[in-house]
């Protein structure tokens, strides 16, 4: 099973990335969002140059972004919300006082919602229930739990995530630049159907050549993607089980079974399958991973996943090589034990 490490996009951390190369990482993944196309291309170029100089075989994945609903900005950066309290959300870029209203950057957001709809911020740190629709751009929601609300954080509204056009203009800005680096894989986000994937591949094919034919990875991040997995696998070279959004856009209790279903279908179709998100996240704070993390990576390997993708474990860690080392230890142990099973 391959190990994929997410590298921080800008600035490019040469020393930290070298430690991951030395630890035996198989792929570097650059998530092509949040920063400019020039910065993304610079990170990919720097990674390619460093890999070449190290004389190691590490491949690159360009992970193209989806459309995101995000909170706007407010002065405090973080505010503490209380369970049971009601908050006004408004379609605005920023707010001078988020306790007066919380800015959310999505046009006509009020018209997309109904009373009792639930939504989440970040990876599910905060949950809200809609209690009142004021206008097409304003609504009131009650906090289901207490916690910190972070400005510019992502917002997931499960009922509309597959209705959003995830083929963003930024994709058209990034794709023409990819031949400069020729990443071995290109991942497309929030793939919900074969038709959507066809559109994205058509955009990419205008810039591929006989010397550069990257493998196409369809990221499965919603119920529609799960429901249409058979037709998606007909076209994609592989899929990514993107557990972060999957656990928010569908019932999280179904995530484990859904992961096993997707891995099994991909393997049966002879396609590459990546399992991503929070695989060894406890290593951000611990030297020894949480036991649930060990079991998680073990089960990925036993189920036949082609790769585990490390996200914050490498992008936000001062010692990202530790996550690569631990993943390698677990994979090696499982592979060795299979001989006796």
CATH code of the domain containing 38: 3.20.20.60
User: Which of 160, 187, 213 is at the close of a domain?
Assistant: 160
Q: Answer yes or no: do 44 and 104 share one domain.
A: no
Task: Indicate the pairing of strand 118-121 with strand 126-135.
Answer: antiparallel
Mean residue pLDDT of the chain comes to 95
Confidence of residue 32 (pLDDT cuts 50, 70, 90): confident
The tens digit of pLDDT for each residue in 127-157 reads 999 999 999 999 999 999 999 999 999 999 9
Please say if the pLDDT value at position 340 is more than 80.
Answer: no
Q: Which of 92, 127, 160 is the last residue of a domain?
A: 160
Q: What is the pLDDT of residues 97-125, one digit of tens each?
A: 998 999 999 999 999 999 999 999 998 99
In this structure, the chain runs to a length of 341
Tokens at 272, concatenated: 């590459």
Segment holding 164, helix H or strand E: none
- A 10 A CB-CB count for 38 gives 11
Which range marks the domain in which residue 225 is found?
2-67+165-338
Which residue, 139, 121, 138, 118, is CA-closest to 129?
A: 118
Q: What is the CA radius of gyration of the chain?
A: 20
Closest alpha carbon to 157 in 104, 190, 121, 103: 121
Query: Closest by alpha carbon to 43, among 22, 17, 65, 67?
Result: 17
199 neighbors 193 (Cβ within 8 angstroms): no
Question: How far, in Å, CA of 331 to CA of 305, rounded?
Answer: 11
Q: Is 44 exposed, middle or buried (0-12, 13-18, 19+ CB in 10 A)?
A: buried
- The verdict on 118 and 174 lying in the same domain is no
CB contact set of 301 (below 8 Å; sequence gap of 6+) = 1, 308, 330, 331, 334, 335
Q: Specify which residues 89 forms β-bridges with.
A: 102, 139
> Could you tell me if 153 and 99 lie in one domain?
yes
Q: Do 214 and 182 meet the contact criterion of CB atoms below 8 Å apart?
A: yes
Per-residue pLDDT tens digits for 225-271: 999 999 999 999 999 999 999 999 999 999 999 999 999 999 999 99
339: confidence class by pLDDT, cuts 50, 70, 90: low
Tokens of 108: 């006509």
Q: Are residues 62 and 104 in the same domain?
A: no
Could you tell me if 169 and 283 lie in one domain?
yes
- Please check whether residue 129 is in contact with residue 100, taking contact to mean a CB–CB distance below 8 angstroms: no
Whether pTM > 0.85 for this model: the answer is yes
The three-state secondary structure class of 35 is coil
Q: In terms of domains, do 327 and 179 share one?
A: yes
């Amino acid at each position: 099973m391959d190990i994929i490490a997410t590298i921080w996009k800008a600035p490019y951390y040469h020393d930290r990335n070298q430690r991951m190369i030395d630890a035996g990482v198989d792929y570097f993944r650059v998530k092509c969002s949040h920063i400019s196309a020039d910065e993304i291309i610079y990170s990919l170029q720097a990674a390619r140059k460093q890999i070449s100089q190290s004389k190691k075989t590490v491949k690159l994945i360009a992970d193209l972004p989806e459309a995101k609903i995000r909170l706007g900005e407010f002065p405090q950066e973080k505010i503490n919300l209380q369970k049971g309290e009601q908050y006004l959300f408004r379609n605005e870029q920023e707010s001078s006082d988020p306790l007066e209203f919380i800015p959310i950057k999505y046009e006509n957001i009020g018209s997309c919602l109904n009373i009792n709809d639930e939504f989440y911020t970040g990876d599910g740190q905060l949950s809200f229930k809609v209690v009142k629709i004021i206008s097409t751009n304003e609504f009131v929601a009650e906090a289901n739990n207490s916690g910190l609300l972070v400005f510019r954080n992502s917002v997931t509204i499960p009922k509309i995530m597959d209705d959003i056009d995830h083929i963003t203009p930024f994709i058209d800005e990034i794709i023409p630049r990819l031949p400069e680096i020729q990443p071995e894989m290109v991942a497309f986000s929030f793939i919900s159907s074969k038709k959507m994937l066809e559109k994205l591949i058509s955009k990419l094919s205008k810039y591929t050549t006989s010397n550069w034919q990257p493998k196409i990875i369809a990221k499965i991040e919603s119920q529609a993607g799960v429901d249409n997995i058979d037709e998606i696998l007909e076209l994609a070279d592989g899929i990514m089980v993107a557990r972060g959004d999957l656990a928010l856009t569908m019932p999280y209790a179904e995530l484990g079974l859904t992961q096993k279903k997707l891995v099994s279908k991909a393997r049966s179709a002879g396609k590459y399958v990546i399992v991503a998100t929070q695989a060894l996240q406890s290593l951000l704070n611990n030297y020894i991973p949480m036991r649930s993390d060990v079991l998680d990576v073990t089960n990925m390997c036993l189920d036949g996943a082609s790769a585990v993708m490390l996200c914050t474990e490498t992008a936000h860690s001062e010692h990202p090589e530790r996550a690569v080392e631990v993943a390698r230890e677990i994979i090696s142990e499982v592979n060795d034990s299979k001989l006796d099973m």
